[in-house]
Amino acid sequence: ETDFAEWRRVIDVNLGGPFLACRAAGQRMLADGHPGGSIINVASVLGERGLANGAAYCSAQAGVLNLTRALALEWARGGVRVNAIGAGWTEGMAMAGDDESRAKLERYLPYKRLARPDEIAGIAVYLASDVSAYLTGQVVWVEGGALSHV
């Protein structure tokens, strides 16, 4: 049971933060007359899949995915690309529970391990580069096949 104050806090941090960052970066890119720019949001795989007792967080992450898509459409004429990385469970992230919980999660994942941070970073470099100049409004999932798992 999530009370409304906690709901608001989670939404404000996890969706409000990306909104404010996108707005600041996008306004600057559009106002400065840049020939283009790239904004990369990072969202969780839980924006695509729900999690019991995680309604606020999952909702916020889904919001980041759709914020990305909406801003991509709004800012494309100004040459600003907006994409997202849909990150799965990653080494170094805070995990509730103990080693047993982590082992259970790893057994569930197709690669049987968590992602390494450099595997996420490589996608960010790609999205920021000119190689992805015709890519906007997309979510690049870096989740080791977790979303393909039934």
Q: What is the dihedral of CA 138, 142, 148, 150, to 10 degrees?
A: -120
Q: Report the 10 Å Cβ neighbour count for 125.
A: 12
* Residues classed as catalytic: 57
Tokens of 43: 């969202």
Cα 145 → chain centroid: 16
What is the rounded CA–CA span in Å between residue 13 and residue 1?
A: 19
Report whether 42 contacts 28 (CB < 8 A): no
Report whether 136 contacts 82 (CB < 8 A): yes
